[in-house]
Structure 1
Amino acid sequence: MVDTEFKSAKAESSSGRQMVHNIAKGRKLKFSESAASPIVSIFVGNRRTFLLHSGLLNGESEKLYNSLKGDFMEAESWKINLPDEDPELFGYFIEYLYRDCSLLSRNVANYSEYITVARLYALGERLSAVKFQSIALWRFTASLNGNSKIPELSLCDLLEIACTTITARVTEDPMRAQIFWYASSRISQLQEFDMFRQLLKELSELGACLCMWLNRQQPAKPAEPSQVQQTRFEPESEYGLEGSEETQEITWTRETKDT
């Protein structure tokens, strides 16, 4: 009995890998196709498991999607472990995949939400989720200007995120640029704040990054992402072009071998 279940599970994972390979060519899926895709278990922060339709990762998270291909352990078990991620933060990404109704779709109403959106941007970088990152960046900058009132404590949190969780690049990362610009415009107030002085000691690059943005204009804001959800999926249609590989419906049913 145990041997039969093992062979069945192995056949399922093999079939699942083939499904991922079949849609790896890059064509958009209908939402209904994604919703009929095999379920992948994502264990986040060693305390919460998210059950996700694997087809939704197509074109949304290169890291997670690629882990379901080839000979990776995740491809065998259809389980992905993200022990260093925050389940509460990852929940925003899950909500983004299924519906456009989250912090990313409304104005930043509270200074603490700037911190959340910056953390979501960093999460997008770790997941190689470029579209998710671009929405987070737009939401962050849409409300940010020289008159924004972000308390010094929260601003220090943003500076720490910029220096420790977002990758520094030769061409400055756009989220880091926005944070450093805003902090430099508030440098007089920050200099009187103990936590800021401590950050200058702990983060060797911080002082130089702030100096680069002193007395400069705000970096260019990104354009608003238009119709994000509508462009993520192929429109639902009862009809297709027969013989066209690009419009053939995907069969997601997992097949098991006779034992």
Structure 2
Amino acid sequence: MEPSKSEDIYKETKTAKVDDSHEFNEAEVKRLSNYLSTRVIEIVVGVSHKRTFYIHEGLLCYASEKFKIQLRGYFKEAQTGKIPDCQEDPELFAVFADFLYHDGWLRKRKSLYYSCEWVMVSRCYAMGERLGSKVFQRECLWKLQHSITLKKFTIANDALCRILKATTELPERTTGNEDPLRALVLRYAAGQISTLRKDPAFKELLDEHPELGCQILMRVTDDESDCQPSGAPPEKRFEDKVEFL
């Protein structure tokens, strides 16, 4: 699969010099109000259907390495305060934008229920990879792990195929450690293989990505260690406190 224009831009910006003069210290990073004092960035998101978001620069740079390089490096976005061609899905980016401003539903212990929720969170994780947002990916991964281990809901085959397809968007890691979302989804698919292999959508997916078949079969006899959540949700990002002068 050829890389998208946005992926090419990200690879180019990874080598750029970044201005760290705006970084908050350890005490300041937990105060949401500090981020709200930074300038507001205009981001035009989408390809065919575009949507414009207005987000504080401090939050973008805190959560996304890609945006940090664009806004703190030697690019026109740093001068104009506008990112005109973010080629992500606006619906997925809306989840990311919501995440930036508060500790939302991703960290709640309530399990995912509807198939569309599983697909959306998996695609959000893949988007987080493209944005260089490890904090957002961590939230998405915990939500999926937590929901799978509760075993209150079986992911429908069509949704599972869409989630498996989302894992193909993740780059191969060179460190030898497999991406945790890919490992989680492949392990789950292996447990559903008896019904999944009869589904036309799964056969079509394997025609497009034949490597998935081998990866799933290799996990048929695995234990469920990949599916274990890390316990509590990720640490709360912002402190609820007021300093009295």
Give the TM-score normalised by structure 1: 0.76
The residue that corresponds to 2:193 in the other structure is 187
Per-residue deviation, residues 105-155 of structure 1 (Å, max 9, x unmatched):
343122221111101111111111111100100000101049441111111
The residue that corresponds to 1:138 in the other structure is 142
Task: For residue 84 of structure 2, give the secondary structure of its aligned residue in structure 1.
Answer: strand
Q: Give the Cα separation in 2 of the matches to 1:146 and 1:135.
A: 17
Amino acid at match of 1:116: M
The residue that corresponds to 1:123 in the other structure is 127
Match of 1:237 among 231, 236, 243: 243
Q: Give the Cα separation in 2 of the matches to 1:229 and 1:205.
A: 38
The residue that corresponds to 1:154 in the other structure is 159
Task: For residue 43 of structure 2, give the secondary structure of its aligned residue in structure 1.
Answer: strand
Amino acid at match of 1:192: K
Task: For residue 181 of structure 1, give the secondary structure of its aligned residue in structure 2.
Answer: helix
Maintained 8 Å contact 1:95/1:102? no
What displacement does 1:186 show? 0.9
Amino acid at match of 1:158: I
Q: Give the Cα separation in 2 of the matches to 1:84 and 1:34.
A: 25
Per-residue deviation, residues 23-42 of structure 1 (Å, max 9, x unmatched):
23764433212111111111
Q: Give the Cα separation in 2 of the matches to 1:100 and 1:225.
A: 11
Runs (4+) of structure 1 moved beyond 6 Å?
Answer: none
What displacement does 1:172 show? 1.2
Per-residue deviation, residues 135-183 of structure 1 (Å, max 9, x unmatched):
10000010104944111111111111112x2223232111011110111
Match of 1:90 among 93, 100, 111: 93
What displacement does 1:83 show? 3.8
- Structure 2: unaligned runs, 5 residues or longer: 1-18
Task: For residue 23 of structure 1, give the secondary structure of its aligned residue in structure 2.
Answer: coil
Maintained 8 Å contact 2:61/2:67? no
Quick one: structure 1 residues 100 and 151, their matched pair in 2 at CA, closer, same or farther if it must change by over 3 Å?
A: same
Q: Give the Cα separation in 1 of the matches to 2:34 and 2:25.
A: 14
Maintained 8 Å contact 1:122/1:166? yes
Q: Greater Rg, structure 1 or structure 2?
A: 1
Quick one: structure 1 residues 40 and 160, their matched pair in 2 at CA, closer, same or farther if it must change by over 3 Å?
A: same
What displacement does 1:238 show? 4.9
Q: Give the Cα separation in 1 of the matches to 2:103 and 2:113.
A: 18
The residue that corresponds to 2:170 in the other structure is 166
Q: Give the Cα separation in 2 of the matches to 1:134 and 1:220.
A: 14
Amino acid at match of 1:142: H
**Percentage of identical aligned residues:** 33
Task: For residue 35 of structure 2, give the secondary structure of its aligned residue in structure 1.
Answer: helix
Amino acid at match of 1:23: H
Quick one: structure 1 residues 43 and 221, their matched pair in 2 at CA, closer, same or farther if it must change by over 3 Å?
A: same
Q: Give the Cα separation in 1 of the matches to 2:70 and 2:131.
A: 11
Quick one: structure 1 residues 226 and 137, their matched pair in 2 at CA, closer, same or farther if it must change by over 3 Å?
A: closer
The residue that corresponds to 1:42 in the other structure is 43
- Structure 1: unaligned runs, 5 residues or longer: 1-19, 240-259
Task: For residue 144 of structure 1, give the secondary structure of its aligned residue in structure 2.
Answer: helix
Quick one: structure 1 residues 151 and 70, their matched pair in 2 at CA, closer, same or farther if it must change by over 3 Å?
A: closer
Amino acid at match of 2:41: V
Maintained 8 Å contact 1:31/1:236? no
Q: Give the Cα separation in 2 of the matches to 1:130 and 1:145.
A: 22
Quick one: structure 1 residues 134 and 50, their matched pair in 2 at CA, closer, same or farther if it must change by over 3 Å?
A: same
Q: Give the Cα separation in 2 of the matches to 1:153 and 1:70.
A: 42
